[in-house]
């Protein structure tokens, strides 16, 4: 029997009150349309942030600015922050739906979904932040949730990308009926994250690194992006999901671009030595 994923982070990472949450979603969509990097969707693939919505709403919103159009299914792939996963492996659990303060979202399931991963899927915040945006849309879609932590080699990315294309259906991906979102924050910098290669004042250097990686991903240069992450000992938490989406988008001959970049310090006006960066990458 399939299970329902609860809105575990409602009331902590984002508002539990439906009116407040809908206002947050609506305002972030309106603000997104005013940006210089705005390009009208719908989009076919994306890398979106997953911090609490106080930080990530600005980065998530661009994907949803034009509604979902003809999209019927969305696969969300995130890293696993709380469960250890085998390398080069995507995991999922059989779900019948996901609860949000804005209503339930219906599910579809990957063939590899296993009940043993339900608790990990339930506890993963990186899968949840995008769900209120999906629930707020007028067009009903079905959603699958999956996680992947790391790749050991570029060949494994291409192999898994091919498997997903076959399972999801090449035509559905080409026509935009099925889309894939990679859930990933970018560099986590500071003593809190045990990552301080550039000293105490590093946002400029971190931005340079993050945008280099974001452009490699947007251009489908997957092997180079994987090597970049390894060379930098990157703290980009969802890099594996982003690599997978980049590979599939490239095979679908989609055009990608970096739609946004900012840090937690930009949002909170903090001078803390610790900060997290966020980048939005879209393909159409």
Helix (H) or strand (E) holding 282: strand 275-283
Torsion over CA: 27, 29, 33, 38 (sign): positive
Q: How far apart are CA 104 and CA 98, in angstroms?
A: 6
For the chain, state the CA radius of gyration.
Answer: 17
Q: How many residues does the chain have?
A: 284
Q: Where along the chain do its domains lie? A: 3-283
Q: How far apart are CA 233 and CA 80, in angstroms?
A: 18
pLDDT-derived band at 87 (thresholds 50, 70, 90) equals: very high
- Give the largest Cα separation in the chain, rounded: 52
Residue 2 confidence (pLDDT): 76
| Residue range 93-148, pLDDT digits in tens | 999 999 999 999 999 999 999 999 999 999 999 999 999 999 999 888 999 999 99
Superfamily of domain 3-283: LigB-like (3.40.830.10)
Torsion over CA: 266, 267, 273, 274 (sign): negative
* pLDDT, greater one: 263 or 66: 263
Residue 38 in this model has a pLDDT that exceeds 80: no
| Residue range 191-219, pLDDT digits in tens | 999 999 998 778 899 999 999 999 999 99
Q: How far apart are CA 262 and CA 207, in angstroms?
A: 8
Q: How far apart are CA 174 and CA 97, in angstroms?
A: 25
pLDDT-derived band at 42 (thresholds 50, 70, 90) equals: confident
Provide the mean pLDDT of the chain.
Answer: 95
> How far lies 146's CA from each of 1, 17, 25, 91, 257, in Å?
18, 27, 23, 6, 24
Per the CB < 8 A criterion, the answer to whether 142 and 106 are in contact is yes
Percent of the chain with pLDDT over 70: 99
Residue whose C-alpha is closest to residue 279's, from 231, 244, 242, 253: 242
pTM of the predicted structure, to 2 decimals: 0.96
First-to-final CA distance of the chain: 36
Residue 41 in this model has a pLDDT that exceeds 80: no
pLDDT-derived band at 1 (thresholds 50, 70, 90) equals: low
> Mean pLDDT over residues 72-94, rounded?
96
pLDDT-derived band at 272 (thresholds 50, 70, 90) equals: confident
């Amino acid at each position: 029997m399939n299970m329902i994923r609860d809105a575990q982070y409602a009331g902590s990472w984002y508002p539990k009150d439906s009116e407040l949450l809908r206002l947050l979603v609506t305002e972030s969509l309106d603000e997104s349309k005013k940006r210089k990097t705005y390009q009208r969707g719908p989009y076919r693939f994306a890398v979106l942030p997953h911090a609490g919505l106080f930080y990530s709403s600005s980065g998530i919103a661009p994907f949803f600015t034009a509604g979902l159009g003809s999209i019927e299914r969305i696969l969300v792939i995130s890293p696993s922050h709380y469960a250890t996963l085998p390398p080069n492996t995507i995991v999922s659990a059989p779900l019948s739906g996901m609860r949000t303060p804005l209503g339930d979202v219906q599910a579809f399931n990957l063939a590899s979904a296993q009940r043993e991963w339900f608790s990990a899927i339930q506890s993963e915040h990186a899968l949840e932040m995008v769900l209120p945006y999906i629930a707020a849309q007028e067009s009903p879609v079905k959603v699958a949730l999956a996680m992947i932590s790391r790749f050991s080699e570029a060949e494994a990315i291409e192999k898994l990308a091919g498997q997903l294309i076959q399972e999801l259906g090449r035509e559905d991906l080409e026509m935009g009926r099925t889309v894939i979102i990679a859930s990933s924050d970018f560099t986590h910098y500071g003593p809190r994250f045990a990552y301080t290669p550039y000293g105490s004042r590093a946002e400029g250097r971190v931005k340079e690194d993050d945008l280099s990686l974001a452009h490699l991903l947007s251009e489908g240069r997957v092997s180079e992006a994987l090597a970049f992450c390894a060379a930098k000992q990157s703290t980009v938490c969802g890099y594996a999901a982003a690599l997978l989406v980049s590979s599939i988008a490239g095979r679908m001959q989609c055009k990608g671009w970096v739609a946004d970049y900012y840090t937690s310090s930009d949002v909170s006006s903090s001078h803390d030595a610790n900060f997290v960066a966020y980048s939005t990458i879209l393909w159409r």
